[in-house]
């Protein structure tokens, strides 16, 4: 439930014939949502950037047949399901940040050489409250919602108090997760929303906090060989402690409990104490090898006291994050069998990162790759006030994203001299023993200017070669798709003028014998909104275009998603 003290909306009794408030009919016979979309668009479009990032997008819940050019592989059958912000203006109110927009799901269904597109807003409680009130009434990370100024002073005071321990949004706009036989839209709060991957219908809400004491959770879970979900969340000042909790959601439940949710069988694998009770690290993903969980505690931290007082101080929760460039970044390695953390303390210099790429073990070492920055400027780039016509000229990242490889020796000579490099593999990455027994790690650079990395997930936790990513350079706006060979450091690209691709998704050929035998899928929007967007299909080996599916809609810039093979969709929806 979204707390009424926050929204200060007294919902009208729902019309039994019209359960969805966004579709309630208004004057002229137009659905209320469509009227509001048009009204928001009429507020004025100052630039192509605002059109692509700020303007509300219309949903298309019924399938639209795409125009296919080229030749798609006959084995490519299933659904590419993606998630991202699609609505930033509600009534006369507007979100401050692009990452705050209401979640808009969209999908491309491949069948018999044809492609069908559809999109639908996630009907979260957040969405329903906002649409019903015709303004933003539920706070997001970069936008704090305030009560109606006409409410009395006692109601205002109660609202301020309610934000001391905030109940977060269920606007799950970042990714898609599979758990058991079901699929969920995910964000970074303790809420996820079950969805139907074929119709994009929103189903029940799941609160992680009912099963494990976490207030925040990542939107990038991992899946083990048995199909279990592994994820991490932050438990804020629970029983006097702030910790990072690793938990497992089973892929199936006992036959006699088939009617019960897999979340009822959720298991806490282990917890890692935060270095600071009131300043837990922000994290967006974590790493996994055959035997270890990798958690990076970066000096990009959430100030709990500031967060608890943010509402009364009139600032958003994002302002409660701070980066300390003089602090250390700590590496935590948890043995998956014993569930105990490796006792040796490994660290590196301060960095900010969002995405792990992959990790694996070799000759007593853990090798892990991630995309890192030397500051936290990336988030600020996407405040909507910055997305104007001069965005690409005036707004530059002050730190280019760098693909960094760390090589960490878990097995090393305990009698090694202080100052000696303990890495025994062929790499420029180092791990130097210090006087106090800690080990200081420095990275090897694999490449620069890429983000939103994906791999062939069959190689997750294993030695691998290839990374598929967007190329961003000094601007956070992706301009190309890149394929990086981590062994040779060679990079090949696909790009066209005025095209902005999304995160690439690798889909393996069912008969693949090699790591890059498959296709790469990416949604491409044009910088000129008058030109139709398309889904691009690349040969993953050569990066040559196999085909594209063009859809005559105004497609939104999305964030993350997954490909669901046809047999999985059939099995789980029959």
Quick one: how far is CA 361 from the chain centroid? 26
Annotated binding-site residue? 365? no
Confidence of residue 40 (pLDDT cuts 50, 70, 90): very low
Q: How far is CA 377 from the centre of its chain?
A: 18
The verdict on whether residue 284 carries a ligand-binding annotation is yes
- pLDDT at residue 544 above 90? yes
How far apart are the two ends of the chain, measured CA to CA in Å? Answer: 31
Listed range (28-37, 236-245, 398-407, 417-426) with the worst mean pLDDT: 28-37
Instruction: Kindly report the number of other CB atoms within 10 A of residue 314's CB atom.
Output: 8
Q: What is the dihedral of CA 301, 305, 306, 310, to 10 degrees?
A: 130
Under the phi-then-psi rule, with left for phi > 0, alpha for psi from -120 to 50, and beta for the rest, what region is 415?
A: alpha
Ordered alpha helix ranges (H), 290-416 = 304-313, 377-381, 391-394
Tell me 305's DSSP state. H
Mean pLDDT, range 373-388, rounded to an integer: 85
For 424-450, how does the pLDDT look when each residue is reduced to its tens digit (9 = 90+)?
A: 999 999 999 999 999 999 999 999 999
Question: Which tens digit of pLDDT belongs to each residue from 130-143?
Answer: 999 999 999 999 99
How far, in Å, CA of 356 to CA of 209, rounded? 25
**Residue 166 confidence (pLDDT):** 55
Residue 19's pLDDT is what?
37
Distance CA 510, CA 191 (A): 34
Mean pLDDT over residues 378-404, rounded? 79
pLDDT given for residue 54 in this prediction: 74
Domain locations along the chain: 4-565
Please state, for a pLDDT cut of 90, what percent of the chain lies above it.
Answer: 73
Which tens digits make up the pLDDT trace of 270-319? 999 999 999 999 999 999 999 999 999 999 999 999 998 888 888 999 99
**Res 6 pLDDT > 90:** no
Alpha helices in 320-471 (DSSP H): 377-381, 391-394
Helix (H, G, I), strand (E, B) or coil at 355: strand
356 marked as binding residue: no
**Lowest-pLDDT range of 24-38, 157-171, 471-485, 502-516:** 24-38
The C-alpha atoms of residue 184 and residue 122 are separated, in whole angstroms, by 11
What is the tens place of the pLDDT at every residue in 397-429?
Answer: 788 999 999 999 999 998 899 999 999 999 999
220 is in an annotated binding site: yes
DSSP 137-174: -S-BTTB-----TTS-HHHHHHHHHHTSSPPPP----S
């Amino acid at each position: 439930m979204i707390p009424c003290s926050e929204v200060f909306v007294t919902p009208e009794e729902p019309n039994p014939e019209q359960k969805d408030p966004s579709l309630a009919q208004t004057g002229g016979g137009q659905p209320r949502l469509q009227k509001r979309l048009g009204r928001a668009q009429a507020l004025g479009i100052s630039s192509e950037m605002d059109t692509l990032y700020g303007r509300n997008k219309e949903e298309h819940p019924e399938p639209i047949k795409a125009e296919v050019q080229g030749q798609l592989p006959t084995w490519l059958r299933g659904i590419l399901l993606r998630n991202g912000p699609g609505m930033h203006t509600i009534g006369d109110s507007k979100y401050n940040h692009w990452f705050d927009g209401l979640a808009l799901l969209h999908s491309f269904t491949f069948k018999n050489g044809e492609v069908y597109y559809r999109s639908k807003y996630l009907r979260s409680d957040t969405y329903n409250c906002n649409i019903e009130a015709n303004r933003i009434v539920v706070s997001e990370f970069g936008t704090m919602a305030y009560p109606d100024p006409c409410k009395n002073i006692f109601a205002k005071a109660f609202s301020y108090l309610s934000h001391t321990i905030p109940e977060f949004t269920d606007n799950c706009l970042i990714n898609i997760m599979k758990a058991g036989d079901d699929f969920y839209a995910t964000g970074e709060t303790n809420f996820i929303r079950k969805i139907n991957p074929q119709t994009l219908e929103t189903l029940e809400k799941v609160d992680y906090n009912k099963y494990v004491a976490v207030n925040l959770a990542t939107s990038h879970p991992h899946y083990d060989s048995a199909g279990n979900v592994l994820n991490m969340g932050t438990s804020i000042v629970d029983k006097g402690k702030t910790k990072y909790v690793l938990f497992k959601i089973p892929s199936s439940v006992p036959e006699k409990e088939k009617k019960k949710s897999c979340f009822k069988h959720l298991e806490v694998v282990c917890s890692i104490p935060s270095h600071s009770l009131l300043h837990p690290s922000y994290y967006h993903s974590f790493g996994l090898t055959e035997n270890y969980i990798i958690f990076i505690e970066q000096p990009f931290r959430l100030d709990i006291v500031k967060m608890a007082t943010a509402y009364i101080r009139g600032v958003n929760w994002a302002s409660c994050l701070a980066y300390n460039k003089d602090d250390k970044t700590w590496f935590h390695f948890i043995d998956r069998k014993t569930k105990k953390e490796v006792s040796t303390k490994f660290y590196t210099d301060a960095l900010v990162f969002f995405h792990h790429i992959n990790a694996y073990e070799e000759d007593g070492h853990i090798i892990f790759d991630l995309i890192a920055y030397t500051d936290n400027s990336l988030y600020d780039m996407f405040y909507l006030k910055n997305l104007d016509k001069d965005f690409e000229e005036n707004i530059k990242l002050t730190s280019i994203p760098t693909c960094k490889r760390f090589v960490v020796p878990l097995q090393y000579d305990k009698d090694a001299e202080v100052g000696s490099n303990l890495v025994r593999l062929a790499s420029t990455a180092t791990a130097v023993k210090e006087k106090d027994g800690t080990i200081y790690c420095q990275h090897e650079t694999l490449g620069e200017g890429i983000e939103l990395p994906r791999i062939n997930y069959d190689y997750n936790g294993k030695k691998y070669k290839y990374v598929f990513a967007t190329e961003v350079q000094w601007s956070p706006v992706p301009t190309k798709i890149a394929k990086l060979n981590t062994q040779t450091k060679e990079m090949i690209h696909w790009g066209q003028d005025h095209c902005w691709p999304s995160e690439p998704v690798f889909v393996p050929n069912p008969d693949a014998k090699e790591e890059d035998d498959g296709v790469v899928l990416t949604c491409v929007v044009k910088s000129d909104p008058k030109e139709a967007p398309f889904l691009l299909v690349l040969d993953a080996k050569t990066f040559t275009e196999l085909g594209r599916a063009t859809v005559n809609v105004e497609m939104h810039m999305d964030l993350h998603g997954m490909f669901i093979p046809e047999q999985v969709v059939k099995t789980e929806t029959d």
